[in-house]
Amino acid sequence: MKAVVYNDGLKLENNYPMPTPKKGEALIKVTTIGICNTDYEITKGYMGYKGILGHEFTGIVEKAENKDLIGKRVVGEINCGCQECEWCKQGLERHCFNRSTLGIWQREGCFAEYVALPEKNLLVIPDNVTDNEAVFVEPLAAALEILEQIHIPPYKKVVVLGDGKLGIITALALNACNLDVTLVGKHEEKLALASSQGVKTELLSNFKIEKAYDYVVEATGSITGFETSLALTKPRGTLILKSTIAASKEFNLAPIVIDEITLLGSRCGQFAPAMRMLENKRIDVNPLISDIYPIDKSIEAFERNKEKSSVKVLVKID
């Protein structure tokens, strides 16, 4: 099968071995793939992963022990736990110490014509949700994870810092939950994608940096973004970290202590609430699609994803 593989370089393999499903796993023919910044970070050495990239996909089940799944369009939760530890028993496979993660850690990804995943990880796509929309379930679930972790009262002020794909989706998701959200970023054309759906937006260059927000979501992926987020958080406010930041310089954490700020790390979320949001048309993710490439042009798609003007790049498999 065709597969996009990272192994000391990114390349498209035309004769990569097909996955062999284990007991309880389904074989899925992949139809749509979303490129995530995590995929790009892996090509720079993140997690030390080598193999097929990709963790955002839609596909059609070809083989499964559960015959009701065969022929169904599905998405798949990316974390595969041991099913025996305290985390798995709580449905929190994302924290299982023995987990594998699709295309990120010890499990071949979905950037290929076929992928294998546990049947319990699969979620059937409703008829009124297109593949192009359903491929956003994983990042949308990550955005909604914030509201699984904490309660944000609707009268509190929230700012999302960063107008990349994660920041935009997070702002859209929180706004759809009737929260008072402002998205702050550097690119007018990207901010417009959120403002067209009712999100308040501000250019960072015009935005007053003051401790005026009860909840601040950091989605820039940079130390300067973290520092700005900290400068926006009220005393006894909550700073929510959605992006992973590799520290390359010293920065001052004293304000966290002085202002008694709560730090909240927030990563993966459950797929079902995200799918319901798409099914009920609470947000429209289609305007976030910058380009669609065939799998034969996957390397070009990765290059397009690096460009500042892109938001979401998809790859299609016939």
Q: What integer pLDDT is reported at residue 45 of this predicted model? A: 77
- What per-residue confidence (pLDDT) applies to 255? 84
Q: Provide the percentage of residues in the chain whose pLDDT is more than 90.
A: 82
Q: For residue 54, what pLDDT is reported?
A: 95
Query: Tokens representing 182?
Result: 């402002």
Q: Which of 2, 56, 51 is nearest to 32 (CA)?
A: 56
Give the pLDDT score at 18.
Answer: 96
Enter the DSSP assignment of 260.
Answer: T
**CA angle (95, 99, 103) in 5-degree steps:** 110
pLDDT, mean over the chain: 94
Confidence at residue 184, expressed as pLDDT on a 0 to 100 scale: 98
d(CA 182, CA 203): 10
What are the tens digits of pLDDT across the range 200-220? 999 999 999 999 999 999 999
CA angle at residue 5 from 54 to 141, to 5 degrees? 5
- Residues 161, 203: contact at Cβ < 8 Å? no
pLDDT confidence of residue 163:
95
Domains of the chain, start order: 3-136+285-316 (3.90.180.10), 140-265 (3.40.50.720)
Per-residue pLDDT of 147-185, as tens digits, reads 999 999 999 999 999 999 999 999 999 999 999 999 999
Residue 245: exposed, middle, or buried by beta-carbon count in 10 A (0-12, 13-18, 19+)? middle
Task: Please tell me the predicted confidence (pLDDT) of residue 43.
Answer: 84
CA distances in angstroms from 121 to 28, 128, 230, 231, 272, listed in the order given: 12, 21, 36, 39, 11
- Full-prediction pTM beyond 0.85? yes
Band of pLDDT at residue 80, cut at 50, 70 and 90: very high
Supply φ then ψ for residue 204, to 5 degrees: -60, -35
Residues for the chain: how many in total? 318
- Looking at residue 253, its pLDDT comes to 82
Cα 8 to its chain centre, rounded Å, is 24
Q: What is the mean pLDDT of residues 233-258?
A: 82
